[in-house]
Amino acid sequence: MPTALEASPGERLRTLRDLLGLTGADLHRLTGISQSWTSQVETGAREPAEDRLRVIAEATDTPMSFFYAQPSSVPLDSLRFRKMATASRTVTRRISAFYGESFRVTEEIINKAGYPAPPLPFASAPELSQSDVEELAAQTREALRLAPDKPIPHLTRALERAGIAVAPIVLPDPTGDSVSPTNKHFGVSYWAGIGETALIAYFPGAQGDRDRFTLAHELGHLVLHTFRPRAADPEGEANRFAGALLVPYERAREEITDRLTLEGFARRKQTWGVSMQALILRGAAVGHIDDSRKRSLYVQLTQRGWRKEEPVSVGQEAPLLLWSLLQRQYGDKPYLRASDQLAIQPTILRSIAPQPVANTSATRSGRPRADGKVVAFKQRASRPEGDLRSTAP
């Protein structure tokens, strides 16, 4: 019988189906195994036959070790999501399973490497004012060893160097060959507290500014809600934290005024790597843009078609930490070797720890002109793109 710290193979089978987005009928088509057998095993009504588990493992390219792996220590009801209110519950359940396995694997990789835990500040007061959020964002910049008043050149690398793992989530279809839609989800995160592993997972989008804001938002959850799980407005607080982290208070007061035009916001976007819409909200948060001016600016964005597609393209960031540690522990081609030892499907491991793309020394950005059009130019990648291995103890 499994111990309290182990999952039964039946529970792990349900996790696998959630992970891959497989219904009982899908699994039957892949393996020929009846839906009733699957249901009975998952509910504990019958013991799983190892030969059938092996058939499932081979059909889904999953190592047998997956069915006997200790489950993640993450309490799934504690996960913080950045998602739309209309996001599918089915997809949310699948993402929860994906994140749980991502955290389990991340924890094992990081602990094996002896990588330091993040030195994050944290909130504990029942209620937080805007000034409290601003102060915690400033303390977080200090913890990440960032300048207190300058743009963050590479937020992903700053997080990773501070011991916060970052993982893209790419959901495979039931055959593992393509990507399914995330259905209005953007990011998810968890940190158990001081001295523990932290993981921010996100769904890579088309624009780097959206991804950066998602990472900052999820970092806000780690700082603001790890010890305040019942905050009244966690999403609003995390959004305000993200704005304060990306554009510090004094600089926001200097640069975002009620006289700033959309072209001016586009120039600020180029400087700070923050969307124009988020900059407008940041101006409101620091008291320089009132409700009337905010409405006017959003109307102008809508008229120009910029609510859905803003000018100025912000370069996308790519994580490096988990790949670096995986490569160090399992060699230059680590996925297949690590898959069995980490008890995870190789496709999912590739999502969690993607191999860096070669020739990414330049990112595409843009310079707004007076007429609001964009002149594209090359921008050198910031120095933090470099190897992380020198930071590990």
**What is the predicted pLDDT for the residue at 2?**
43
Same domain, 131 and 219: yes
Q: Give strand pairing partners of 200.
A: 166, 189
Q: Which of 34, 54, 71 is the last residue of a domain?
A: 71
The answer to whether position 65 is within a domain reads: yes
What's the whole-number average pLDDT of the chain?
A: 86
Same domain, 251 and 172: yes
C-alpha distances out from residue 35 to 11, 14, 24, 30, 96, Å: 15, 12, 5, 11, 23
The answer to whether position 76 is within a domain reads: no
Q: Which of 71, 86, 120 is the last residue of a domain?
A: 71
Same domain, 37 and 166: no
Distance from CA of residue 9 to its chain's centroid? 29
Same domain, 298 and 371: yes
Same domain, 29 and 102: no
CA distance 139 to 117: 17
Read off the tokens for 54: 């092996």
Same domain, 208 and 124: yes
Same domain, 276 and 161: yes
CA distance 279 to 171: 31
For the chain, first and last CA: distance in Å? Answer: 39
Are the C-beta atoms of residues 342 and 334 closer than 8 Å to each other? no
Per the listing, tokens 């933090």 go with 384
The answer to whether position 156 is within a domain reads: yes
Q: Which of 38, 71, 104 is the last residue of a domain?
A: 71
Are the C-beta atoms of residues 220 and 242 closer than 8 Å to each other? yes
Q: Is 172 helix (H, G, I), strand (E, B) or coil?
A: strand
The answer to whether position 299 is within a domain reads: yes
Are the C-beta atoms of residues 276 and 265 closer than 8 Å to each other? yes
Same domain, 219 and 129: yes
C-alpha distances out from residue 55 to 30, 47, 60, 102, Å: 9, 16, 9, 24
Are the C-beta atoms of residues 82 and 361 closer than 8 Å to each other? no
What is the crossing angle of helices 234-246 and 130-143, to 10°? 50
Same domain, 141 and 230: yes
C-alpha distances out from residue 316 to 80, 147, 155, 174, 220, Å: 23, 21, 10, 28, 20
What string of DSSP letters covers 223-238?
HHHSS-TT-S-HHHHH
The answer to whether position 327 is within a domain reads: no
Output b/e per residue, 318-347; b: 16+ Cβ within 10 A. Answer: bbbbbbbbbbebbeeebbeebbeebbbbbb
**What is the predicted pLDDT for the residue at 94?**
87
**What is the predicted pLDDT for the residue at 8?**
85
The answer to whether position 371 is within a domain reads: yes
**What is the predicted pLDDT for the residue at 72?**
77
**What is the predicted pLDDT for the residue at 370?**
34
Same domain, 314 and 383: yes
How many domains does the chain fold into? 2
The answer to whether position 3 is within a domain reads: yes
Are the C-beta atoms of residues 258 and 294 closer than 8 Å to each other? no
E-strand stretches of the chain: 80-83, 164-168, 185-191, 198-202, 362-368, 374-380
* pLDDT tens sequence across 50-98: 999 999 999 999 999 999 998 877 765 555 655 555 556 777 788 888 9
Are the C-beta atoms of residues 201 and 168 closer than 8 Å to each other? yes
**What is the predicted pLDDT for the residue at 134?**
98
Distance from CA of residue 387 to its chain's centroid? 21
Residue type, 259: R
Q: Is 374 helix (H, G, I), strand (E, B) or coil?
A: strand
**Domain CATH code at residue 44:** 1.10.260.40
Same domain, 50 and 113: no
Same domain, 274 and 132: yes
* pLDDT tens sequence across 319-366: 999 999 999 999 999 999 999 999 999 989 999 999 998 654 434 344
pTM: 0.86
Q: Is 85 helix (H, G, I), strand (E, B) or coil?
A: coil
pLDDT in tens, the chain (393 residues): 444 445 689 999 999 999 888 999 999 999 999 999 999 999 999 999 999 999 999 999 999 999 999 887 776 555 565 555 555 677 778 888 899 999 999 999 999 999 999 999 999 999 999 999 999 999 999 999 999 999 999 999 999 999 999 999 888 665 444 444 454 568 899 998 999 999 999 998 888 999 999 999 999 999 999 999 899 999 999 999 999 999 999 999 999 999 999 999 999 999 999 999 999 999 999 999 999 999 999 999 999 999 989 999 999 999 999 999 999 999 999 999 999 999 999 989 999 999 998 654 434 344 433 333 333 323 333 333 334 433 333
The answer to whether position 145 is within a domain reads: yes
| Residue-range definition of the domain harbouring residue 310 | 96-318+358-391
